[in-house]
Amino acid sequence: MTDMTPPLDGIRVLDLSRVLAGPWCTMTLADLGAEVWKVENPDGGDDTRKWGPPFAEGESAYYLAVNRNKKGIAVDLRTPGGQAVVRDLAARADVLVENYRAGALAKYGLDWETLSAANPRLIYCSISAYGRSSPMADRPGYDFVVQAEGGLMAITGAADGAPMKVGVAICDVLTGKDATQAILAALIARGRTGRGQLIDIALLDSTVAALVNVGSAWLVSGKAPGRWGNAHPTTVPYQIFATADGMVALACGNDLQFQALCRRALDRADLAQDPRFVRNVDRVAHRQVLVPLLEAIFAGGTTAEWFSRLEAAGVPAGIVRDVPAALGAPEVLARGMVATVDHPTIGPLRLVASALRLSDTPVVPPRPPPLLGQDTDAVLAGVLGYTPERIATLHGEGAVSGSGPARL
């Protein structure tokens, strides 16, 4: 019999992170069934709540993108009562994720050494720009800066243009994914050892690792890579071509695909037979000859015509879409990549859904990101067993706050 229980059912995550890398990680854990307690400052909450426009009934699209399936509590870590609340939650948590400045949590008694002494099974994931053991550990950092310092900007953009950032905060996303992988591995290891461990994840590390073949090419050849725009440094043709009314992305990954392109899609057997183009290594050497020939050919037909011919020939290709077209594409919608949730103040809210697909233990149905402090009282009572009187005292001291309907 198939068990449809989410894979991380029963795992509790204390989320002390803000902005993108940490929240992406904890959202993924929540999608997989973990109970995530998102802790925010009562004075404004997560930085991204203010990152707009656009806003939907006061909630920024940025915040809504990475905080589904979490319970939100508002706790002031500067107060003794707030610190006690987080320590009590850490004692009951399986995983803690934080991205504070180096040493910031130690002054509150919320550092790895203190919390792991009280809960040896705790997996403590620390996310930072440069890593806790780095000589630059005290330096703050954002995705944009790390894209520059990690070599990513230098290889992105037009060959004769300026270094360019990727269109999304890709270093944060990569770091969030690395943090998720490390946490899942630590949970497996804890199943063997019974002990938690400290995880140290850095944006710079994740960015450098993501240089993959480009980084390897430099290490092997000693030749610094440049920018290729939409072209590929070692595979030709592998780029965008303008058509009469749009653009197609063409990806010939091997010689057989190039033959199919020329003979079947373009009806140009002469190009397939040209000794300058038969092998990929020769096409790379003669790209300045081949690419203009292909540009002239593609300019003579519409995007729809060329895509139909490329698809019939079995040549990997796609139409260059804008974001609305991508999110509205039938194949994207068929995979359930756009979900609608019922938000308590916005009403029906469309979100980009999880990309994870598991046959026996699927991700949980998406719930809307929490309002600031939405679940404070419910978590204090239901998880920590605090009495109504103690909760009222914490509110009176300004240690916690809450608003909106509580969810258990």
Of the candidates 173, 236, 243, 161, the one whose C-alpha atom is nearest the C-alpha of residue 201 is 173
Tell me, what DSSP letter sits at residue 362? P
Residue 358, token pair as written in the block: 């598991």
Which residues neighbour 293 within 8 Å (Cβ) at sequence distance 6 or greater? 271
- What CA–CA distance (Å, rounded) separates 348 from 394? 34
Q: Spell out the alpha helix ranges (H) of 212-363.
A: 212-221, 255-260, 269-273, 280-285, 287-298, 303-313, 323-327, 330-334
- What CA–CA distance (Å, rounded) separates 229 from 337? 28
Q: 282 catalytic, yes or no? A: no
Q: How far apart are the two ends of the chain, measured CA to CA in Å?
A: 29
Check whether the bond before 365 is cis (ω within 30° of 0). no
Phi first, then psi, for residue 143 (nearest 5°) are -50, -45
- What CA–CA distance (Å, rounded) separates 256 from 11? 49
CA trace torsion 356, 359, 364, 369 (10° rounding): 20
| Sheet with 247-251, edge to edge strand ranges | 238-242, 247-251, 317-319
Please state the separation of Cα 10 from the chain's center in Å.
Answer: 24
Is 399:100 a contact under the CB 8 Å cutoff?
no
Taken in order 380, 381, 384, 386, the sign of the CA dihedral is positive
- Residue 357 to residues 94, 261, 338, 351, Cα–Cα distance (Å): 24, 33, 14, 17
Q: How many CB atoms lie within 10 A of CB 367?
A: 16
Q: How many CB atoms lie within 10 A of CB 152?
A: 23
- What CA–CA distance (Å, rounded) separates 319 from 374? 43
**Residue for token digits 């850490």?**
90
- What CA–CA distance (Å, rounded) separates 241 from 317? 10
Annotated active-site residue in 143, 172, 178, 375: 172
Could you give the residue numbers annotated as active site? 172
